[in-house]
């Protein structure tokens, strides 16, 4: 019987030739990721072993990755103490895929995993973060789980009670217009599906637009698939996947690819003409409240944020720098820039992107999640409005329920920073 990519991945991980949608499995995990919330996982993991009286040992240290990114450097005594405990645990357990607050080793978990080649096509990847969906960009079935579930994974190496999801096929053809990017595509998809339109399903991306899209853009698309309710987003592995893993991650061993069967069964099929897309903006306070930027341009903004696991990669910084080079931010508008990793920070520095952004008036911060989660760096004041390349705009998302967050692409963010109001990069079009 024909299968989608995720059905094939789950079949392999469960030791089966075929799995059906709705079937409940306990697949083997290829990679388990946590960030600072590893402290919660660790506590529950140790409780499991205290109850048995056995020595606490993770099932496979080489398959666990822990990255500090949400609160770096530590903003409080509590965070610093938790980070200290995690460092001790990592050393005791022999976990080598650990990224501390160190130069170009640091970064956001969803950038570090692909950048270091930790994720491969066909993997089952779980993470204690909802945007673990990002890694579907490399052809993996990648999804978020809770701390209790992760403690079980650390113990057993499998995920319990995984129901094989149905798949929505999104086919995107055509070439993006000027100043339209993968971020605009995924915002459009979320607006079309709504925040619950892909609940408990996978979104599988196809079409020549996706084939020609660099991994950076695919990461953006898969990252935000969860905002439509999807368990995961996935781009079947292809030549671009191999190129990225070889050239960026330095992977030298064989990279097998998993493809869907030509007659695989999908829950529904959505076709999109990329050439018809305009720049998009998600308006407060839900990510599916999406409109063409032309419908809301002119709204005053106090803060612009460029970065995060969604749009903090080198090409995102290049776009913003090319627009801002030789110009100055509008008075009354501040810009915060958060590169997604230390390697990206270094490359952007060498290429002059950070210099151009600073000269325009931007503040360059260390790699990390920054204001995205609303607890560390860049909180908004009462009544302020932010335009951001991050992935969520729920009430209070940037630390203040009395403010507003709009989501957009790096190009829309950069042009708007120059005018101090939400601005359409393509004028009236």
Q: According to the model, what pLDDT value does residue 26 have?
A: 97
pLDDT, tens digit, 9 for 90 and up, residues 45-69 = 999 888 888 889 999 999 999 999 9
- Name the residue among 73, 68, 81 with its Cα closest to residue 38: 68
- Alpha helix (H) residue ranges in 224-286: 239-247
CB 5 within 8 A of CB 204: yes
Residue 129 half-sphere exposure toward CB, CA atoms < 13 A = 28
3-class secondary structure, 59: coil
Q: According to the model, what pLDDT value does residue 397 have?
A: 85
DSSP per-residue codes, 160-226: SSEEPPEEEEEEEES-PPTT--HHHHHHHHHHHH-TTTTTTEEEEEESHHHHTS-HHHHHHHHHGGG
CB 167 within 8 A of CB 204: yes
pLDDT, tens digit, 9 for 90 and up, residues 309-343 = 999 999 999 999 999 999 999 999 999 999 999 99
Q: Considering the chain, what percentage of its residues have pLDDT values greater than 70? A: 100
CB 81 within 8 A of CB 48: no
Count of C-beta atoms within a 10 Å radius of residue 91: 10
CA distances, 390 to each of 222, 281, 394, 417 (Å) = 13, 11, 11, 15
Domain ranges of the chain: 5-272, 280-419
Q: According to the model, what pLDDT value does residue 107 have?
A: 96
CA distances, 141 to each of 46, 167, 234, 252, 319 (Å) = 28, 12, 7, 22, 30
Cα separation, 362 vs 345, in Å, equals 14
Cα separation, 236 vs 204, in Å, equals 8
Cα separation, 164 vs 8, in Å, equals 10
Cα separation, 427 vs 429, in Å, equals 6
Q: Is the pLDDT of residue 93 over 90?
A: yes
Cβ within 8 Å of residue 358, ≥6 positions away: 364
DSSP per-residue codes, 23-37: -EE-PBPSEEEESTT
pLDDT, tens digit, 9 for 90 and up, residues 376-411 = 788 899 999 999 999 999 888 888 899 999 999 999
- Tell me the mean pLDDT in the region 184-211: 97
Question: Do the domains 280-419 and 5-272 match in fold?
Answer: yes
Question: Taking all residues of the chain, what is their mean pLDDT, rounded to a whole number?
Answer: 95
Q: According to the model, what pLDDT value does residue 48 have?
A: 87
Q: Is the pLDDT of residue 428 over 70?
A: no
3-class secondary structure, 291: strand
- The fold of 5-272 is Aconitase; domain 3 (3.30.499)
Top CATH class of 280-419 equals alpha beta
Stated pTM of the model: 0.95
Q: Is the pLDDT of residue 429 over 60?
A: no
Torsion angle, alpha carbons of 96, 101, 104, 108, to 10: 80
Residue 82 binned pLDDT confidence (cut-offs 50, 70, 90): very high
Q: Considering the chain, what percentage of its residues have pLDDT values greater than 90? A: 91
pLDDT, tens digit, 9 for 90 and up, residues 115-165 = 999 999 999 999 999 999 999 999 999 999 999 999 999 999 999 999 999
Cα separation, 114 vs 249, in Å, equals 7
Kind of pairing, strands 232-234 and 268-273?
A: unpaired
Cα separation, 93 vs 243, in Å, equals 33
Residue 372 binned pLDDT confidence (cut-offs 50, 70, 90): confident
Q: Is the pLDDT of residue 214 over 60?
A: yes
Q: What are phi and psi of 50, to 5 degrees?
A: -60, -35
Cα separation, 133 vs 60, in Å, equals 22
pLDDT, tens digit, 9 for 90 and up, residues 20-40 = 999 999 999 999 999 999 999
Q: According to the model, what pLDDT value does residue 389 have?
A: 97
Q: Is the pLDDT of residue 265 over 70?
A: yes
**In this structure, what token pair is assigned to residue 218?**
């695919």
Cα separation, 140 vs 144, in Å, equals 13
């Amino acid at each position: 019987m024909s299968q989608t990519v995720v059905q094939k991945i789950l079949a392999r991980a469960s030791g089966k030739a075929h799995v059906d949608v709705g079937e409940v499995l306990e697949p083997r995990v290829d990679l388990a990721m946590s960030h600072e919330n590893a402290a919660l996982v660790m506590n529950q993991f140790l409780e499991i072993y205290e109850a048995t009286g056995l020595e606490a040992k993770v099932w496979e240290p080489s398959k666990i990755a822990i990255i500090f990114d949400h609160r770096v450097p530590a903003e409080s005594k509590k965070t610093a103490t938790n980070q200290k405990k995690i460092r001790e645990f990592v050393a005791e357990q022999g976990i080598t895929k650990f990224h501390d607050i160190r130069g170009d080793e640091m970064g956001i978990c969803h950038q570090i995993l692909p950048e270091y080649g930790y994720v491969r096509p066909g993997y089952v990847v779980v993470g204690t973060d909802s945007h673990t969906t990002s890694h579907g960009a490399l052809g993996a079935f990648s999804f978020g789980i809770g701390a209790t579930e992760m403690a079980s994974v650390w113990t057993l190496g499998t995920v319990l009670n995984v129901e094989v999801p149905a798949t929505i096929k999104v086919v995107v053809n055509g070439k993006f217009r000027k100043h339209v990017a993968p971020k605009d595509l995924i915002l459009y998809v979320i607006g079309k599906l709504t925040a619950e339109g892909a609940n408990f399903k996978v979104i599988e991306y196809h079409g020549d637009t996706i084939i020609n899209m660099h991994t950076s853009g695919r990461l953006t698309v898969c990252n935000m698939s969860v905002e439509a309710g999807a368990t995961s987003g996935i781009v079947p592995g292809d030549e671009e996947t191999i190129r990225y893993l070889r050239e960026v991650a330095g992977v030298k061993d064989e990279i097998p690819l998993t493809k869907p069967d030509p007659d695989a069964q999908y829950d529904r099929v959505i076709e999109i003409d990329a050439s018809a897309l305009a720049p998009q903006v998600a308006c407060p306070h839900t990510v599916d409240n999406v409109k063409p930027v032309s419908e809301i341009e002119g709204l005053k903004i106090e803060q612009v944020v460029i970065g995060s696991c969604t749009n903090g990669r080198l090409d995102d910084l290049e776009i913003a720098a090319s627009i801002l080079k030789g110009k100055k931010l509008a008075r009354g508008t501040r810009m915060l820039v958060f590169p997604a990793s230390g390697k990206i920070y270094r490359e952007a520095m060498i290429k002059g992107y950070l210099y151009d952004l600073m000269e325009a008036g931007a503040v360059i911060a260390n790699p990390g999640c920054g204001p995205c989660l609303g607890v560390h760096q860049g909180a908004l004041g009462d009544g302020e409005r932010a335009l951001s390349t991050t992935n969520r705009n729920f009430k209070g998302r940037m630390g203040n329920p009395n403010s507003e967050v709009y989501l957009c692409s790096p190009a829309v963010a950069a042009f708007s920073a120059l005018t101090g109001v939400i601005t359409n990069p393509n004028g009236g079009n």
